[in-house]
Amino acid sequence: MSFTNLGLNESLLKAVKEQGYTSPTPIQKQAIPVVIEGKDVLAAAQTGTGKTAGFTLPLLERLSETHPKMGNKQIRVLVLTPTRELAAQVAESIKTYGKYMKYSSTVIFGGVGIHPQLATIRKGVDIVIATPGRLLDIAGQKGIDFSAIETLVLDEADRMLDMGFIHDIKKLMKMMPKEKQTLLFSATFSKEIKQLASGLLKDPVLVEVARENTTAEQISQVVHYVDKSRKRELLSQLIKTKDWRQVLVFTRTKHGANKLTKQLEEAGISAAAIHGNKSQGARTKALAAFKANEIRVLVATDIAARGIDIDQLPHVVNYELPNVPEDYVHRIGRTGRAGMSGEAVSLVCVDEHKLLFDIEKFIKSPIKKVEIEAFRPDPSIQAEPIQNGRGGGQKRGGGQNRGGNQKRGGENSRNRSRNAGNKQEKKKDDTKQGDGQKKMSRKEQKNSNASVIGSRIQEKLDKLDKRDTKNDTQNNNRRKR
Ligand code: AMP
């Protein structure tokens, strides 16, 4: 099947051809015609499946079909994304595919000045791609008018929920007319996503290209068991001996990302870190250098890496396993993009066995274990609670997806879950010391780390969300006064 049968106009087909795409990916085949028809869509699609073109191409087609007169600050299409990087990438895709069309678009996110964004919207734009926090700030200042909105896209909706954007999204929805087309894209189809979808979508067409909660099949996954203290050495060796030229490496913490970057550089491997404490400029620069093959390794935390789109990324390394099994799927989704094959390597130490177990359960398949003789773990080393950051008690606020006055979102919500885990781990640690290095029983192990985080996280987030909503209301009231 070629793109010509999908109902796209000549300008779009020309732009697609220039990209070298010969045939639509499964999600594009399914989504493009129904989006053009104006239907609501609920799509379960992982990154790397071509989902961005799956919604941007038909949206551009629809824009070209009518020419309504737009009022001041009115927009026609809104795409909400969880991160700045993803917003920028969606905007880039729109620019690429729409290069032979007449339309205007802009990207709105926190961490940069709000006034130029307000001025751009005032001048009139067709498409806005935004993160929820900053958009809500702008909407609160009456800087944008949603009354003429034709299509709303929620991209990576699962991650927006993970990051605590649900209240912002709900507030934004209330400002929009009921009559509009809504498209919801999510890597996983959790209960929460289905709930959100049922409130937002009307008779949606269900588009599902991969089985629920499974990893993309063209990615080869392997686990190397290794002692924690020897992970860096093993990583350097893998990079050097296998001559990996472009590797995305995940660490659990920002501090860990910085430390590893420094160590790799010292070992003669060019590397840069990308995480929530880095300025937007530094992140963009690191990403550009990585894409241009000027640096070999990009070390990232989960939130910072979300939405990074690098064509044909060959290697992803889990230097540390994520606390949340879903993040494993998101991480390795960075490789094996749109039909390309990729390799995902996880370096797993004894502390992380439970996390690995949870991941394998989540993806419903065991991951191949390959022993590297020289790095065979020392069996006398006992599992220790996982440290998820320095000191544990992180301050709230300052998440990477908001400008100035930030409350939820960004790496903070993730830190909250980590802190929830830390407290538990600390308690367990104390017990352990009291018991004189007693090995954890099966039951204790089951309750440790990830499962504790997993089961408590929602409860914690709900509590914090309630508190944030109260704060939001107080702030709004103060603002009104
Ligand atoms: P996405 O899942 O939207 O992040 O897209 C993943 C990658 O696939 C991007 O780098 C796109 O440029 C690429 N891509 C999208 N559609 C196609 C296609 N039909 N054929 C080949 N590559 C594609």
Which atom of ligand 1 is found nearest the CA of 52?
Answer: 3
Q: How far is the CA of 357 from the centre of ligand 1 (A)?
A: 31
Single residue among 208, 240, 273 that ends a domain in this structure: 208
The answer as to whether 374 is a domain residue is yes
Give the contacts of 107 (CB within 8 A, at least 6 positions apart).
Answer: 87, 88, 91, 128, 129, 130
Q: Report yes or no: 167 and 466 within 8 Å, Cβ to Cβ.
A: no
Residue 208: band (very low, low, confident or very high) from pLDDT cuts 50, 70, 90: confident
pLDDT at 312: 61
Residue among 200, 257, 169, 165 nearest 40 (CA): 200
Positive or negative: CA dihedral 442, 443, 448, 451:
positive
DSSP state, 351?
G
Ligand 1 pocket by Cβ (under 6 Å): 21, 24-25, 28, 47-53, 309, 311, 337-338
pTM exceeds 0.95 for this model: no
Do residues 264 and 349 both lie within one domain?
Answer: yes
| Token pair for 97 | 């595919």
Q: Give the Cα-Cα-Cα angle 173, 125, 134 (nearest 5 degrees).
A: 45
Do residues 186 and 260 both lie within one domain?
Answer: no
Do residues 182 and 64 both lie within one domain?
Answer: yes
Do residues 226 and 140 both lie within one domain?
Answer: no
Neighbouring-strand partners of residue 306: none
State which of 3, 16, 337 you would mutate to test the pocket of ligand 1, scoring each by most atoms of that ligand within 8 A of its C-beta: 337
**What is the distance between the alpha carbons of residues 457 and 321, in angstroms, rounded to a whole number?**
17
Q: Report yes or no: 80 and 158 within 8 Å, Cβ to Cβ.
A: no
**What is the distance between the alpha carbons of residues 397 and 6, in angstroms, rounded to a whole number?**
45
Torsion (CA) 456, 461, 462, 466 in degrees, nearest 10: 150
pLDDT at 307: 57
**What pLDDT digit, counting tens, does each position of 101-115 carry?**
999 999 999 989 999
Do residues 169 and 231 both lie within one domain?
Answer: no
pLDDT at 311: 57
Which atom of ligand 1 is found nearest the CA of 25?
Answer: 19
Do residues 235 and 270 both lie within one domain?
Answer: yes
Q: How far is the CA of 89 from the centre of ligand 1 (A)?
A: 12
Do residues 50 and 79 both lie within one domain?
Answer: yes
**What pLDDT digit, counting tens, does each position of 278-292 carry?**
777 888 888 888 888
Do residues 198 and 253 both lie within one domain?
Answer: no
Q: How far is the CA of 53 from the centre of ligand 1 (A)?
A: 7
Single residue among 143, 173, 208 that ends a domain in this structure: 208
Residue 393: band (very low, low, confident or very high) from pLDDT cuts 50, 70, 90: very low
Q: How far is the CA of 54 from the centre of ligand 1 (A)?
A: 9
Do residues 64 and 176 both lie within one domain?
Answer: yes
State the residue range of the domain holding 369.
Answer: 219-385
The answer as to whether 428 is a domain residue is no
Do residues 267 and 153 both lie within one domain?
Answer: no
| Token pair for 441 | 């029983």
Do residues 232 and 343 both lie within one domain?
Answer: yes
Give the contacts of 74 (CB within 8 A, at least 6 positions apart).
Answer: 124, 145, 146, 147, 148
Cα 402 to Cα 131, 241, 301, 344, 408: the distances in Å are 8, 41, 17, 31, 9
The answer as to whether 202 is a domain residue is yes
Single residue among 322, 354, 385 that ends a domain in this structure: 385
**What pLDDT digit, counting tens, does each position of 425-466 carry?**
333 322 232 222 233 333 333 333 322 223 333 333 334 334
Residue 227: CATH number of its domain: 3.40.50.300
Do residues 259 and 299 both lie within one domain?
Answer: yes
Instruction: Quote the number of domains for the chain.
Output: 2
Write down how long the chain is.
Answer: 481
Residue 417: band (very low, low, confident or very high) from pLDDT cuts 50, 70, 90: very low
Closest residue by CA, ligand 1 atom 6: 48
Better pLDDT: 87 or 363? 87
Calculate mean pLDDT across residues 330-358: 82
pLDDT at 214 over 50: no
